[in-house]
Amino acid sequence: MTSCFVSSSRIYQKEAKRDFYLVIDKEVYQKYNEEFSGRIELEVDSDSLVISKVSPDEMGHFSHFVHERFNRCGSHSGFFSLEEAITELESVENVDQVQSLLIETDIDQPVLVEAATDLINLGRIQKTIEELSSFYTRYSRSNTGVDSSEWILREWRNITKSRADAEVSFFHHSWSQPSVYAKIKGVSDDIIVIGGHLDSKNYNSSTTGLAPGADDDASGIAVITEVIRVLVDSNYVPDNTLVFVGYSAEEDGLLGSKDFVKYTFNTNVNILGVLQIDMALHNKENDQIYIMQDFSNPGQNTFVANLINTYTGTTANTDFDCGYGCSDHAAWNHPSLGYLGTMPFEAEPNFGAPNPKYQSLIHTTQDVLGDLNNSLTRAVDFAKLGAAFMIEVDQ
Partner 1 sequence: MKNRNLKFIFLILSFFSCQKFNSSFVTAKSGTNDPTPNGPVGVGTVYFSANDSGVYKMFKLEGGVITEALILPEDTSLNSITYFNGFYYLGLSGHGNSRDGELYKIENDALVQVFEISSSGSSNPKYLTVHNGEIFFSANDGTGGRELWKMNATEQVSLVSDIEPGSMGSFPQSLTSFSGKLYFSATTLNQGNELRVYNDGNLSIVSNAVSGGRDSFPSFLHKHEGELYFSSIKSTSRSPTAEIGSLTTLEGFFNKVSSSGSTSEVASASIDIKFPVSLGGVIYTSCSVNRDNTELCKLNSQGNFESLGDINPEGGAGQANASKPSHLTVFNGKIYFSAYRDSDGVELWEYSPSSGIKQVKDIYPGVMSSHPSSFWVFENKLYFSANDGSNGHELWSVNASGVASLEKDLFVGSGSSYPEFPFSFYSN
**Residues 231, 368: Cα–Cα separation, whole Å:** 28
| Cis upstream peptide for 57 (omega within 30°) | no
Closer of 42 and 187 to partner 1 (Cβ): 187
Q: Is 166 in the site for partner 1 (CB under 8 A)?
A: yes
As measured in angstroms, the least distance from the Cβ of 338 to partner 1 is: 19
**Residues 198, 218: Cα–Cα separation, whole Å:** 7
Q: Is 270 in the site for partner 1 (CB under 8 A)?
A: no
**Residues 168, 123: Cα–Cα separation, whole Å:** 24
As measured in angstroms, the least distance from the Cβ of 133 to partner 1 is: 11
Residue from the set 27, 114, 167, 233 that interacts with partner 1 by CB under 8 A: 167
Q: Is 13 in the site for partner 1 (CB under 8 A)?
A: yes
Could you say which residues in the range 214-243 bind partner 1, by CB under 8 A? none
Catalogue the long-range contacts made by 64-70 (C-beta closer than 8 Å, 24 or more residues apart). Answer: 64/203, 64/206, 65/32, 65/35, 65/36, 66/3, 66/4, 66/6, 66/28, 66/32, 67/3, 67/4, 67/203, 67/363, 69/31, 70/28, 70/351, 70/352
Residue from the set 86, 119, 157, 337 that interacts with partner 1 by CB under 8 A: 157
Strands (E), 127-207: 166-171, 179-184, 191-197
Residue from the set 30, 42, 81, 319 that interacts with partner 1 by CB under 8 A: 81
Residues in binding contact with partner 1, number by CB under 8 A:
71
Q: Is 16 in the site for partner 1 (CB under 8 A)?
A: yes
Q: Is 154 in the site for partner 1 (CB under 8 A)?
A: yes
Q: Is 88 in the site for partner 1 (CB under 8 A)?
A: no
**Which amino acid appears at position 96 of this protein?**
D
As measured in angstroms, the least distance from the Cβ of 316 to partner 1 is: 32
**Residues 58, 387: Cα–Cα separation, whole Å:** 43
As measured in angstroms, the least distance from the Cβ of 26 to partner 1 is: 21
Which span (45-53, 110-118, 208-216, 317-325) binds partner 1, by CB under 8 A? 208-216
